[in-house]
């Protein structure tokens, strides 16, 4: 059957501007803010949400803008936090000073987005910059760089400005978007799995609680029955079972082994924002931040590891006062909403088909070669005896490819080569106009990573 | 049948020195350190554990002594912490400076136990007090005072000294003992339920992890399947169901109500110690403290509320180095051990029988009257038409009695009067030699609270 | 005599691109990095220093780049800190992770410079962005906005990039440059006085200590004999006397008054970097940061007020180990160097001449009118009876002009009008080609602030 | 002249119960609370001050009791803090929860005094211990143990109780009393010099500010002209000169030397309490704590070293509101009062006379021998050729005696032997009834340290 459409093999349609592997960010990057997907609708006009992405990363930023400034608290608990403007939030002031919160990908570099958000507020929302209208924009980032992707595209001032300009009330984009554009979860268990940004909203009496979280966790996402929700990128894979069993087995394997040196396939960080509309003192808001952040250890296991930079902001718009809801009750409510938010972060996965060997395998020869994602980051494709293998043989693993481990490839119905043992990992080869293979895309679809063929 | 032993009704045998309600602590308090119960056995010679109690509280202290000093980190997350010697643990020193950790009941007053521990180490374990052998004894306490009990007996220097003298390796007393002598859990859900101190131990490779915790939580204890373990003091009561449902229903009831003013039946605090034997840097030990403390939000829900003073110490004896166990793995392992420790804190409850009206109810008349637990804390027992009621009619609720709420009493087979709607709450009346009722004990058994009859 | 060169009065030569009052930052801003002035020479090749400025602010950034990454600690003590990437420095890690420290003007907006520094390091100094070579660039800013200046020009990503590109070892520009381009000190005493950035260096044995500080303090700079160094911008003014007397007189005046509402002429913040070359543990480096920051309370009085965001970073290049210098001695040494650094921050002032009434005062008429620095920020110049006055009559004071307080102006030899009572404050009027006065510059020279004439 | 009263030589009058060297604290210690000396009078009825001492240490405690509870903040900045109940002060609560502040000597052991203070408040000032009347008593201690003194007498529960019972408004005992009973300052410069506790009070408008400080600093006390106030215990010694010179010379000597291993003659810590009567928010009170603590770096140089555990509490009685005094002004005022308080801590010294060789030196022979202050802490007195020397030849230096350094002794007019090179250090020998020398007192007078003669 496969033999009937061999031409399809190299048919490449790129739905985004192709960005050469390892290329430096240029000024031509265009923030994308008209994004489709699944949205959370929320009735919370005091918070405006904007999302902007660079497909060339892919990476992005998510901005929460408060036309009326809010009071804020922060709880930093991870072992590798990257934050901006948090120190002032620890001084106990009761004054609403925060204009926006900025979340971004890009690791340390993504903090630049917060600067863009602040500058855009200054230029479009406020008058003369005087003490009382300075835009205070705390922020945090997630790690989404090598070995996940290898270019230097990270959120910057322009992306932050774009996200702020796009900010509107009422809708939050779920899944692998914005700051969560290239997030993963579950790498503690050996299988980093795409995640994204989640959100949830609940109103109880007059109290409104919204939680937004970018789940880029070393731990796995767990539901209220103790089950791991997703442990791989194959949508048709079997259920993952109980987290308690998985936690135990990691330790058991570790002890059974002789101190394996692990391929760390990812760094992590979960960043979260809780927005409430109830009047709270600073001390109450800080307590709520601590209570909710801690509660998320139910939904993400393990949480706050040394390889996470977990940070949570809690802000209040101070709009209402519902005496039925104590600060502790608000904390409990927000904790449940936070769990829902984490659950909602799982993105729609690219479809997977299992693949077979083609009847006519001759085109394999054209693909064989060495492909570079970045300096020293290579995938070698080997053609032997009508079969084909790929191996990350540089100095870095690749998303889905452990270092120095050969994987057999087979052909799927889309004409991509897929890893036989993990069919969610695919390779699409790119031909130039003269028909020569010049590169490949690892995992074409929503999380593409490109490489150039080496001579 | 009941009628056959009416004499039994006033038969009171006190297994402890009776301590008058509201009495000030005198020098005659004798620390009890030979305590029976269920023990955790652990193979961890580097940690010596001592437990001492004042039955007159009842209250107690639990001390962890390290003959070779340990490195330590602390994570304070609750809204009402009461701690001693924590500031020095935040400075990042790699030197082992901690000689012991002191846990106690008695709220703020119980911090005195840490002073006793330090003094006893000075007097019996070290030479001339010079900089290098000062006994650094960090500590924390739990709240176990009114309206749980009403006297002024709290852990003091003498109790701390006694606990240190009693410290031995290898065994840890589980349940309502030591610092957890009068702990409760679950009051967030309206029913404070006796808890205590729990412990668990695990060895993986060379790594040993022990966790000790005094669970005096506003939240409820939850098992790995999401179920609440105990929600009342009646050992024969029905299972408690899922925590998720209970959390939701609190909020729902709160919103449905018109801002009820609650009888706060308890203040709280969970205090925890993690002991590991692996060499860790200060930064790693601190990360482990944060990771494990956060993980306990799975076992106690809600956790770290404003009404909790939750504090966790992590110490390392720095005895071994097992390269198979990374610091993060140790954190994961310790988190699971911590969950086991929480589960083990639930004490054996006093037996309950449901009670009936006696065939000859005449003795009810002798009990009617007003009883004072402390100034302004009264229970009035009313005899009307052959039936009997009790009501906390002072300015404080009592354990098991909401303020100004009349409860019918019936007679159980032990000759105690029990609350018909909650048979775990019992009243035993005390007669003097001339046969007059002079007082009562609320909940005779392991958690007795005494009152004098008012003229 | 003045009458002989009336034409000179409106002769305006602007040595920089004129930036209209209130104008939004455009992309045409050109960072200036070739800057003249007084330099500190230092023999410390491990630290590269770059300075970049936007004259249109004026404002600037100062960047310290470490080709070999350094260990770092931070001490935040002021009441209004604005910082980036500080949280990770509190976790006690012994790993050198910091690539650069970014200081900038522009208040909150200036944090964007740190993002530019990081991006430039990524693009020019490192390969594929992977965990081990991410550029961690902590930073802090000073307030230099209204009512000091009124445009929206603040340090941004481009300025941070330019400063990094300009970074070289061996020299540090002193005075009103870089992040200290529009710094002031001493406003607590009613007279904000231009300050800038200071630096000092000392080698003792193998130990090298450099301190760099941007003194934008609410307090005044004090020398080792207890005297205030400068208390106004007139270089020929009388000495300022002892700080102890000045501190007492502020309180005395305050109490003697009837709760005066003050014109707050400035917000503040002193940001400091200590660089040492000795190997130190994290705990030692943190102690040194605290010790040195505290010691600066001798050189700046008062220090760490609520209106300061004082922040100090201490970094170590870990190049040498001189056993003669204990960590405490290093702290003492660095504290003395820090004092020297503060003293060196005072900039060269613009020359002042006292001015007189001109023989022919007719040109006063041409100047009369209302001038806007920004929306609502106006200075009205009034011509009456051959004399001339100016008054800040909008809703903001101006640098040197208290709100709603009329000041007489006279003519100096440069053809500027000067405030008779404070001749360091000058106005230069600007004519267009047809001879009409179209605007003015407040304090032409090193700290110019421009206004447009209102119709 | 000396020859005329040789009998006086062994005349020993001990004004206190003699406490054998190295003896363990017994229950017979009697707190002394009727103490004479120089007092600060202050008009601040809301703060009650109690002082209690154990002459057998000597050591002591100073307690500040607030009949109406106060709001409180804490600033911990030293490298070796020993504190109790500080964590709750960091949570930003606006509620007045603090009943007292406890300062004590005894290093870590002295924290027990805080427990005694709390227990005494519970027993004598409050009713049933319920959440709303728990006595919260934060505290801190200073180091005053070996090699300053060698016994195990430290402040305990009983001493804390005694100090609380003695607490009265209006007077504060200055100098070497209470917690400052055996404080020293200036050891950084090689000469630890007796200091004590200081206090100062100022009223400005309605605002009252009192500062109490126990100066046990590694640094030296400096006046407002930059001069060191006291650099030895000889009251007739020459002035000490400028601190700037002394700081420089320490570093210069250190570098000139070949890494001398120093006898650390003392550990340190300065603990301070600021009490104000003005209403302040938590954030304002915290800022004030930071501002005042930092300002003390002027009065104590160096300050906050790694060998100091410097801690400052700021509390407000919230009695008045004087709009003329901003929070910053209050901070400035309190900083000046703090400086005055430090200056007032210097105690009256024991009189010194220079001594000579006696005409009849025969009694020297009787003194020769070895004296033990504690296990391993010995002073050997050697008689050779009609002259006499003493040397600390154990494993610890002594106050005034460097390790293994022989000092010649001469006889003063009181019959004590004094160190010729430092006449403030004296030895008084003790005879039993049969005329045998059985021990000695180092520095009889206000700071006596006793030793037993070894067989």
Query: In this structure, are residues A216 and A203 in contact, taking their beta carbons and an 8 Å threshold?
Result: no
User: Which DSSP symbol is given to A351?
Assistant: P
For position C2, what pLDDT does the model report? 37
> Does A305 contact B297 at a Cβ distance shorter than 8 Å?
no
Closest by CA position to B327, among listed B339, B310, B314: B314
List of chain A residues whose C-beta atoms are within 8 Å of the C-beta of residue D92:
92, 281-283, 286
List of chain C residues whose C-beta atoms are within 8 Å of the C-beta of residue B286:
91-92
C298 min Cα distance to partner chain A (Å): 24
First to last CA, chain B: 34
> Does A332 contact B251 at a Cβ distance shorter than 8 Å?
yes
CA–CA dist A234, A219 (Å, integer): 19
Sequence-ordered list of residues with C-beta below 8 angstroms from that of D212, at least 6 positions apart, any chain: D49, D62, D64, D103, D172, D197, D198, D199, D272, D273, D275, D341
First to last CA, chain C: 33
CA–CA dist A419, A422 (Å, integer): 5
CA–CA dist D178, D37 (Å, integer): 11
The pair of three-digit structure tokens given for residue D105, joined into one six-digit string: 């000597």
> Does C287 contact D297 at a Cβ distance shorter than 8 Å?
no
> A281 and chain D: CB distance < 8 Å anywhere?
yes
**Which one of the listed residues A33, A62, A191, A269 is annotated catalytic?**
A269
pLDDT at C266 over 80: no
For position C324, what pLDDT does the model report? 87
The position carrying tokens 């004004």 is D15
What mean pLDDT value characterizes chain C? 91
Collapse the DSSP code of D200 into the 3-class scheme (helix H, G, I; strand E, B; otherwise coil) and give the result: strand
How much is the CA Rg of chain B, to the nearest whole Å?
Answer: 23
Query: In this structure, are residues B271 and B179 in contact, taking their beta carbons and an 8 Å threshold?
Result: yes
CA–CA dist D354, D352 (Å, integer): 6
Pairs across B and C, CB distance < 8 A: 24
List of chain C residues whose C-beta atoms are within 8 Å of the C-beta of residue D272:
none
List of chain A residues whose C-beta atoms are within 8 Å of the C-beta of residue D287:
91
pLDDT at C167 over 90: yes
Query: Over the stretch A110-151, which tens digit does the pLDDT of each residue have?
Result: 999 999 999 999 999 999 999 889 999 999 999 999 999 999
3-state secondary structure chain C: CHHHCHHHHHCCCCCCCCCCCCCCCCCCCCCECCCCCCEEECCCCCCEEEEEEECCCCEEEEEEEEEEEEEEEEEECCCCCCEECCHHHHCCCCCCCEEEEEEECCHHHHHHHHHHHHHHHHHHHCCCCEHHHCCECCEEECCCCECCCCCCCCCCHHHHHHHHHCCEECEEECECCHHHCCCEECHHHCCCEECCEEEEEEEECCEEEEEEEEEECCCEEECCCCEECCCCCCCCCCCCCEHHHHHHHHHHHHHHCCCCCCCCCCCCEEEEEEEEEECCCHHHHHHHHHHHHHHHHHCEECCCCCCCCCEEEEEEEEEECCCCCCHHHHHHHHHHHHHHHHHCCCCCCCCCCCCECCCCHHHHHHHCEEEEEECCEEEEEEEECCEEEEEECCCCCECCECECCCEEEEECCCCCEEECCCCCCEEEEEECCCCCEEEEEECCCCCCEEEEECC
Sequence-ordered list of residues with C-beta below 8 angstroms from that of C218, at least 6 positions apart, any chain: C187, C188, C266, C268, C302, C305, C307, C308, D328
**Residues within 8 A of B (CB atoms), D 167-206 only:** none
> Does A283 contact D283 at a Cβ distance shorter than 8 Å?
no
> D88 and chain B: CB distance < 8 Å anywhere?
yes
Kindly list the distances between the CA atom of residue C355 and the CA atoms of C2, C4, C351, D356, in Å, as whole numbers in the listed order.
10, 15, 12, 74
The confidence band for C354, taking pLDDT boundaries of 50, 70 and 90, is confident
CA–CA dist D179, A300 (Å, integer): 50
CA D163 to chain centre: 16
Verdict on whether the full-model pTM lies above 0.80: yes
CA–CA dist B73, B81 (Å, integer): 16
> B306 and chain A: CB distance < 8 Å anywhere?
yes
Q: Is A311 exposed, middle or buried (0-12, 13-18, 19+ CB in 10 A)?
A: buried
How much is the CA Rg of chain D, to the nearest whole Å?
Answer: 23
For position B260, what pLDDT does the model report? 56
Using CA coordinates, name the residue in chain C closest to B92: C283
Query: In this structure, are residues C294 and C43 in contact, taking their beta carbons and an 8 Å threshold?
Result: no
User: Which DSSP symbol is given to B420?
Assistant: S
CB atoms inside a 10 Å sphere around CB A169: 15
Greater confidence (B256 vs A363) lies with B256
Q: What is the helix (H) or strand (E) element at residue D215, kind and residue range?
A: strand D207-216
Mutate to test the interface with C, among B71, B92, B286 (most CBs of C within 10 A): B92
What does residue D305 show for φ and ψ, rounded to 5 degrees? -75, 175
The pair of three-digit structure tokens given for residue C261, joined into one six-digit string: 């509402």
The pair of three-digit structure tokens given for residue D318, joined into one six-digit string: 């919230």
CA–CA dist B57, D189 (Å, integer): 52
| Phi-psi sector, D145: left (phi>0), alpha (psi -120 to 50), beta | beta
Sequence-ordered list of residues with C-beta below 8 angstroms from that of C32, at least 6 positions apart, any chain: C52, C53, C54, C55
| Helix-strand-coil split of chain B, %, nearest 5 | 20, 35, 45
CA–CA dist A294, A326 (Å, integer): 19
Q: Of A230-234, A257-261, B413-417, which gets the smallest average pLDDT?
A: A257-261
pLDDT at D19 over 70: no
How much is the CA Rg of chain A, to the nearest whole Å?
Answer: 23
List of chain A residues whose C-beta atoms are within 8 Å of the C-beta of residue B328:
188, 218, 302, 305-307
CA–CA dist A84, C109 (Å, integer): 12
pLDDT at D328 over 80: yes
> A403 and chain C: CB distance < 8 Å anywhere?
no
Using CA coordinates, name the residue in chain D closest to A286: D91
High-pLDDT (> 70) share of chain C, %:
92
Query: In this structure, are residues D189 and D76 in contact, taking their beta carbons and an 8 Å threshold?
Result: no
CA–CA dist B357, B359 (Å, integer): 7
First to last CA, chain D: 34
Q: Residue D269 catalytic? A: yes
What does residue B311 show for φ and ψ, rounded to 5 degrees? -140, 135
CA–CA dist A453, A380 (Å, integer): 10
For position D429, what pLDDT does the model report? 95
For position B6, what pLDDT does the model report? 38
List of chain C residues whose C-beta atoms are within 8 Å of the C-beta of residue A79:
91
Q: Determine the Cα angle at C419 with ends C415 and C421, to 5°.
A: 135
Mutate to test the interface with C, among D81, D254, D282, D342 (most CBs of C within 10 A): D254
Kindly list the distances between the CA atom of residue C102 and the CA atoms of C93, C120, C125, C214, in Å, as whole numbers in the listed order.
21, 12, 17, 12
pLDDT at D323 over 90: no
pLDDT at D7 over 60: no
Query: Over the stretch D137-190, which tens digit does the pLDDT of each residue have?
Result: 999 999 999 999 999 999 999 999 999 999 999 999 999 999 999 999 999 999
Greater confidence (B254 vs A69) lies with A69
List of chain C residues whose C-beta atoms are within 8 Å of the C-beta of residue D244:
224, 336
Query: Over the stretch D265-311, which tens digit does the pLDDT of each residue have?
Result: 568 999 999 999 999 999 999 999 999 999 999 999 999 999 999 99
A125 min Cα distance to partner chain D (Å): 29
What length does chain C have? 455
CB atoms inside a 10 Å sphere around CB A413: 14
Q: Of A11-25, A272-286, B157-171, D16-30, which gets the smallest average pLDDT?
A: A11-25
Mutate to test the interface with A, among C87, C156, C450 (most CBs of A within 10 A): C87
> Does B225 contact A224 at a Cβ distance shorter than 8 Å?
no
Greater confidence (C314 vs B24) lies with C314
CB atoms inside a 10 Å sphere around CB A438: 13
First to last CA, chain A: 34
CA–CA dist D347, A250 (Å, integer): 64
D356 strand-pairing partners: D411
For position B7, what pLDDT does the model report? 36
Q: Of A418-432, C327-341, D10-24, which gets the smallest average pLDDT?
A: D10-24
How much is the CA Rg of chain C, to the nearest whole Å?
Answer: 23
D370 min Cα distance to partner chain A (Å): 56
With contact defined as 3+ CB pairs under 8 Å, the chains touching C are A, B, D
pLDDT at C9 over 90: no
- Please compute the mean of the pLDDT values over residues C83-90 and round it to a whole number: 98
Angle between helix axes B157-165 and D112-124 (nearest 10 degrees) is 130
Query: In this structure, are residues D173 and D197 in contact, taking their beta carbons and an 8 Å threshold?
Result: yes
The confidence band for D213, taking pLDDT boundaries of 50, 70 and 90, is very high
Paired sense of beta strands B98-104 and B139-141, if any: parallel
Pairs across A and B, CB distance < 8 A: 141
The confidence band for A208, taking pLDDT boundaries of 50, 70 and 90, is very high
What does residue D317 show for φ and ψ, rounded to 5 degrees? -85, -10
For position A264, what pLDDT does the model report? 60
B239 min Cα distance to partner chain A (Å): 17
Of C226, C298, C304, the CB nearest to D291: C304
> Does C87 contact A91 at a Cβ distance shorter than 8 Å?
no
> Does A303 contact B291 at a Cβ distance shorter than 8 Å?
yes
CB atoms inside a 10 Å sphere around CB D385: 6
pLDDT tens for chain B, 455 residues long, are: 333 443 344 434 333 333 444 444 445 899 999 999 999 999 999 999 999 999 999 999 999 999 999 999 999 999 999 999 999 999 999 999 999 999 999 999 999 999 999 999 999 999 999 988 999 999 999 999 999 999 999 999 999 999 999 999 999 999 999 999 999 999 999 989 999 999 999 999 999 999 999 999 999 999 999 999 999 999 888 999 999 999 999 999 988 887 655 556 568 999 999 999 999 999 999 999 999 999 999 999 999 999 999 999 999 999 999 988 889 999 999 999 999 999 999 999 999 988 888 877 777 888 999 999 999 999 999 999 889 999 999 999 999 899 999 999 999 998 999 999 999 999 999 999 988 999 999 999 999 999 999 99
Closest by CA position to A118, among listed C109, C142, B190: C109
> Does D254 contact C304 at a Cβ distance shorter than 8 Å?
no
For position B363, what pLDDT does the model report? 75
What does residue A172 show for φ and ψ, rounded to 5 degrees? -130, 130
Query: Over the stretch A275-323, which tens digit does the pLDDT of each residue have?
Result: 999 999 999 999 999 999 999 999 999 999 999 999 999 999 999 999 8
What does residue C164 show for φ and ψ, rounded to 5 degrees? -65, -45
Q: What is the helix (H) or strand (E) element at residue D137, kind and residue range?
A: none
> C254 and chain D: CB distance < 8 Å anywhere?
yes
Query: Over the stretch A388-412, which tens digit does the pLDDT of each residue have?
Result: 999 999 999 999 899 999 999 999 9
CA–CA dist B89, B420 (Å, integer): 51
């Amino acid at each position: 059957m496969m033999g009937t459409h061999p031409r399809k093999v190299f048919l490449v349609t790129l739905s985004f501007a192709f960005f050469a592997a390892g290329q430096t960010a240029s000024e031509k990057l265009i923030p994308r803010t008209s994004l489709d997907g699944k949205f959370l609708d929320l009735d919370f006009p005091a918070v405006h949400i904007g999302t902007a992405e660079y497909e060339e990363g892919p990476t992005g930023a998510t901005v929460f803008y408060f036309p009326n400034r809010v009071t804020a608290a922060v709880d930093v608990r991870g072992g590798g936090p990257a934050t901006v403007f948090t120190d002032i939030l620890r001084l106990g002031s009761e004054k609403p000073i925060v204009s926006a919160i900025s979340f971004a990908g890009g690791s340390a570099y993504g903090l630049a987005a917060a600067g863009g958000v602040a500058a855009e507020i200054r230029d479009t929302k406020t008058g003369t910059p005087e003490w009382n209208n300075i835009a205070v924009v705390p922020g945090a980032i997630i790690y989404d760089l090598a070995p996940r992707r290898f270019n230097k595209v990270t959120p910057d001032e322009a992306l932050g400005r774009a996200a702020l300009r796009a900010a509107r009330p009422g809708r939050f984009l779920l899944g692998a978007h914005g700051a969560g554009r290239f997030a993963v979860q579950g790498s503690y268990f050996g299988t980093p799995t795409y995640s994204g940004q989640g959100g949830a909203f609940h109103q109880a009496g007059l109290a409104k609680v919204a939680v937004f979280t970018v789940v880029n966790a070393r731990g796995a996402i767990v539901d209220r029955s103790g089950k791991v929700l997703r442990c791989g990128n194959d949508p048709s894979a079997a259920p993952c079972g109980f987290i308690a069993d998985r936690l135990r087995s990691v330790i058991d394997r570790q002890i059974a082994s002789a101190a394996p040196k692990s391929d760390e396939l990812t760094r992590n960080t979960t960043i979260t924002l809780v927005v409430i509309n109830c009047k709270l003192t600073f001390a109450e808001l800080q307590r709520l931040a601590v209570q909710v952040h801690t509660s998320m250890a139910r939904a993400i296991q393990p949480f706050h590891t040394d390889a996470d930079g977990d940070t949570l902001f809690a802000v209040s718009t101070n709009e209402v006062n519902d005496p039925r809801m104590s600060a502790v009750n608000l904390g409990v409510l927000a904790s449940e909403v936070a769990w829902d938010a984490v659950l909602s972060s799982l993105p729609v996965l690219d479809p997977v088909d299992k693949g077979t060997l083609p009847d006519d395998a001759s085109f394999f020869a054209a693909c064989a070669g060495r492909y570079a994602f970045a300096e020293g980051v290579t995938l070698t494709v080997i053609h032997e005896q009508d079969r084909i293998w790929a191996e990350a043989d540089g100095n870095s693993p690749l998303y889905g490819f452990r270092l120095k481990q050969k994987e057999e490839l087979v052909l799927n119905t889309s004409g991509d080569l897929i890893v036989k043992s993990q069919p969610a990992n695919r390779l699409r080869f790119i031909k130039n106009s003269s028909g020569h293979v010049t590169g490949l895309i690892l995992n074409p679809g929503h999380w593409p990573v490109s490489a150039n063929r080496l001579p």
